[in-house]
A and B are shown apart, each in its own frame.
Chain A
Amino acid sequence: MHTLSAFVRKEFHHILRDRWTLIILLVTPIIMLVLIGFAMTTEVKGTTFMVVAPERDVSTSELVQILSQSVYFTFAGYLPDEQAIDSALRQGMAGLIVVFPSHFASDRTNTGTSSVAVITDGSDPNTAKTLTNYASAIMLGWAQKQNTTIQNTLSIGIETRLLYNPAMKGAYNFVPGVLGMILLLICAMMTSISIAREKESGTMEILLSSPMQPVVIILAKTIPYFFLSCLNLVTSLAMSMTVLGVPVRGSWVALICVSLLYIFVGLLLGVMISTIANSQLVALLVSGMGLMLPVMLLSGMMFPIESMPFPLRLISHIIPARWYVSAMRKVMIKGLGFGSILTELTVLACMSAVLLVISLKKFKPRLE
């Protein structure tokens, strides 16, 4: 016990002495969380739209006006003809283009219907779909109002209730995710370098010739970073509650438990990488570059796991962030308690045990 505390103190000194790294470690998560939390949103607002109207009349200008009055669209002008559509979309001048037929008003009065084309840039499928939905709803609503003669027999009223996030704020979805990503990557990067550095600078020999057990060395390397990460957790949570306005609706105890466990998993992941890698470069490349994309894409922070094909859904199970993000969404946003995150807690606990065992197994007590 005494050796452990002495070793931990020594590690603390190392960390505190390197001022720059310390500042980076403490400030990075806060800035990233705030920037990403605010910037990541899929809400559609103020998309510019342009109109092709061969014959401008009262009804077309009324529709244009109604569209530009909504929060979703801003009017950017008329296009001369359909040939101009392509370049307007390509150069990003408009996100949506409404094309009226040449006899829009007269068609409507004579034949009863008239069709309007809504053209969007489908290269971003979701935005395109959302924009089309909004624009059609607005225009159909207008047509419905014009048309009081129709009797709404056999219609079904639909009431929609948006659970948990009625304002549809992007931050509610992304903050737990970003928190999970940042914590995991930073924890893993911090410890991944620790043992690899000792190997590279040759001080590993001294450590190995000392009477310390491998488990003591590993623990001593993780404990100081554990404290640092807890500090990061506190500041990040404070930021998300105050600046980003994402509440913690559920149980604080559950939140803290799962977060501490998760930090521990992240640190052990780094240790495991560190014991396997032979140089700092490799350790950092694996923990930084290697983990970044899988964590971003497979943890469900951004893309729903249910939409993935089966093999990837399987792989996502071994990504710790997946479990943490799911638990945090339940606790922070849905306001649930301990009982609902038992699965996540168990999985994370198992992961930390497995990582610890692998690290100990791979920790070579001999030099090559």
Chain B
Amino acid sequence: MLRYLVQKEFLQIRRNPFLPRMILMFPMMILLVLPFAANFDIKNINLVVVDHDESMLSERLVKKIESSGYFRLAGYCHNDSDALGMVELGKADTILEIPYGFDKDLGKGSVPEVLISADTVNGTKGGLGSAYLTTVIQDFSADLLQEIQPISGNRKSLITIESQYRYNPYLLYPNFMIPALMVIGLLLITGFLPALNIVGEKESGTIESMNVTPVRKLTLILSKLIPYWVIGFLVFSFMLVLAYFVWGLAITGSLLALYLAVLLFVFTISGFGLIISNYANTYQQAMFMMFFFVMIFDFLSGLFTPIASMPEWAKIISYASPLRYMIEVLRGVYLKGCTISDLKGQYLPLGVLMLLFNSWAIISYRKNS
């Protein structure tokens, strides 16, 4: 019985003019387009300079900043308010104001003050931008010091800091985002689609005819889910291949650990989809409920911003997000070389959520309602 029903579902998916195309296009979009966009890398910060000094030295400083690679000179302004105007219009992100007498003061040994004003509407960008600028200016003064006293004998008890970035030494942002974006793809295919499919039967009334057949509840549900599980696995594997060939992103951990998590995740999410489909009577209701929860799962999963920075109550909600664990597993397996034993902390809660969602789905499902 189940076999024929699954066959029927596959046929319906294939005949739909839109679904197969979307199922194919979606992973492509996720892997070929979005990683370019999902980039927090702070580069090309537009800098506007208010140079009151207009000396050789101030010019040299600006040259040095330009050659650092992080900044793009958006222009010079004569006063602060013009520069602020540029920031307001979004033409510049950071203002560097060099005081009058910068060159002379440095020569005399007093400390001239430069002013950095950073647009911090985007806190990360503003913060990192001003930090980069500070570093460049400090380097600049160290350069000057070197020129005057090449061997500084009395530099006692300093420390140098060596920074090491494990797992992603070149700090490539795509390496961080791609595993997480794959999870979104899997979520939409194995969570959204079966739920919408079941609700569709409800709305068009064909579920009634299924209810009067001798098909059992469980068989009916399974026949709806199995095709999407199969598609989910295929699409996920396709994404792994794409990630490898397009981005050169290879798994450093164990593939088995990855697929174990996929298995758990797919069951969890399709259970969740079933709950939604039990409560919704129309496409519209189903879609809005899905949308609501998916958004919350997304944003509280550490996909975009680290969970560690969230307020306590948000951290607690994030424990209920299956995406959180899945993203941790993928990032772990891709970048950190995690194996099954490293990921116990993710499998366990995912398993609990799976049981919870699926039992809820079964309880809330009434074939004869």
The smallest C-beta distance from B180 to any residue of chain A, in angstroms, reads 10
Given A42-B309, A43-B309, A122-B165, verify A165-B154 contact (CB < 8 Å).
Answer: no
Tally of B interface residues using CB under 8 Å? 118
- Residue from the list B29, B113, B124, B204 in contact with A159, Cβ < 8 A: B113
Min CB distance B24 to A, Å, is 13
A108–B160 CA distance with the chains assembled, in angstroms: 10
> Is the CB of A32 closer than 8 A to any CB of chain B?
yes
B283 A32 Cβ-Cβ under 8 A? no
Q: Check A143–B158 contact: CB distance below 8 A.
A: yes
In the assembled complex, the Cα of A201 lies from the Cα of B211 at a distance in Å of 22
- Please indicate which of the listed interface residues A114, A128, A163 has the most CB atoms of chain B within 10 Å of its own CB: A163
User: Is residue B114 contacting chain A, with contact meaning CB distance below 8 A?
Assistant: yes
Nearest Cβ in chain B — how far from A211, in angstroms? 28
Q: Name the B residues within 8 Å of A153 (CB-CB).
A: 109, 145, 148
- State whether A303 and B161 are in contact (beta carbons under 8 Å apart), knowing that A35-B299, A43-B123, A161-B115 are contacts in the complex: no
B87 within 8 A of A: yes
Q: Does A260 contact B (CB under 8 A)?
A: no
User: A156-B114, A158-B137 are contacts. A24–B285 as well, Cβ < 8 Å?
Assistant: yes
Q: Please, how many angstroms separate the alpha-carbon atoms of A265 and B131 in the complex? A: 39
Chain B residues 322 to 369 lying within 8 A of chain A, measured CB to CB, are: 328, 331-332, 335-338, 342, 345
Question: With A39-B311, A164-B120, A336-B88 known to touch, is A303 a contact of B40 (CB < 8 Å)?
Answer: yes
Residues of B within 8 A of A303 (CB): 37-40
**Is A146 an interface position by the 8 A CB rule?**
yes
Query: What size tier do the contact residues of chain A reach?
Result: 35 or more
Q: How far is the CA of A74 from the CA of B248 in the complex (A)?
A: 36
B56 close to A (CB within 8 Å) = no
CB distance from B324 to the nearest CB of A (A): 12
Query: Bound state CA distance, A124 and B127, in angstroms?
Result: 17
Task: Give per-residue flags for A173-195: 1 if the beta carbon is below 8 A from chain B beta carbons, else 0.
Answer: 10000000000011001100100
What's the minimum C-beta distance from B176 to chain A, rounded to whole angstroms? Answer: 6
A90 CB contact (under 8 Å) in B112, B156, B196, B338: B338
- State which residues 239-298 of B face A: CB under 8 Å: 281-285, 287-292, 294-296
Query: Which residues, 73 to 131 on B, are CB-close (under 8 Å) to A?
Result: 84, 87-90, 106, 109, 111-128, 130-131
A42 touching B305 in the complex, CB below 8 Å, given contacts A31-B292, A156-B111? yes
Is A242's beta carbon under 8 Å from chain B?
no
Q: Is A132 an interface residue, CB under 8 A from the partner?
A: yes
A120–B163 contact, CB under 8 A? yes
Q: Which of B87, B131, B160, B292 contacts A24 (CB 8 A)?
A: B292
Given the interface pairs A154-B145, A193-B283, the reply to whether A161 lies near B116 with Cβ below 8 Å is yes
Q: Are B156 and A149 in contact (CB under 8 A)?
A: yes
Minimal Cβ-Cβ distance residue in B for A178: B299
In this assembly, does B171 line the interface, its C-beta being within 8 Å of a C-beta of chain A? yes
Shortest CB-to-CB span from B47 to chain A, Å, is: 12
List residues of chain A with CB within 8 A of the CB of B230: none
Which residues of the other chain, B, contact A210 by a CB distance below 8 angstroms? none
Name the one of A41, A114, A119, A157 contacting B112, with C-beta atoms under 8 angstroms.
A157
Q: How far is the CA of A297 from the CA of B328 in the complex (A)?
A: 20
Bound CA span A128–B290, Å: 33
Residues from chain A with Cβ under 8 Å of B281 in the complex: 20
Q: How far is the CA of A47 from the CA of B307 in the complex (A)?
A: 11
> CB-nearest residue of chain A relative to B168?
A122
Q: Judging by beta carbons under 8 Å apart, are A160 and B168 in contact?
A: no
Chain B residues engaging chain A, CB cutoff 8 angstroms: 16-19, 22, 26, 29-30, 33-34, 36-44, 46, 84, 87-90, 106, 109, 111-128, 130-131, 134, 137-138, 140-141, 144-145, 148, 154-169, 171-173, 175-176, 184, 188, 192, 196, 200, 203-204, 281-285, 287-292, 294-296, 299-300, 304-306, 308-311, 314, 317-318, 328, 331-332, 335-338, 342, 345
* Residues of chain A having any CB pair with chain B under 8 Å: 18, 20-21, 24-25, 28, 31-32, 35-36, 38-47, 85-87, 89-92, 95, 108-109, 112-130, 132-133, 135-136, 139-140, 143, 146-147, 149-150, 152-166, 168-170, 172-173, 185-186, 189-190, 193, 200, 277-278, 280-282, 284-285, 288-290, 292-293, 297-298, 302-304, 306-309, 312, 316, 326, 329-330, 333-334, 336, 340
Instruction: Name 17 interchain pairs, CB-CB below 8 A, sorted by A.
Output: A86-B166, A89-B166, A116-B159, A116-B160, A118-B162, A121-B165, A121-B166, A123-B168, A136-B163, A143-B159, A156-B138, A157-B114, A173-B123, A186-B288, A298-B37, A312-B36, A326-B90
Beyond A147-B156, A309-B36: 14 further Cβ-contacts under 8 Å?
A: A21-B285, A32-B296, A113-B160, A117-B162, A119-B163, A122-B171, A126-B173, A128-B171, A147-B158, A149-B156, A160-B118, A162-B117, A172-B120, A303-B39
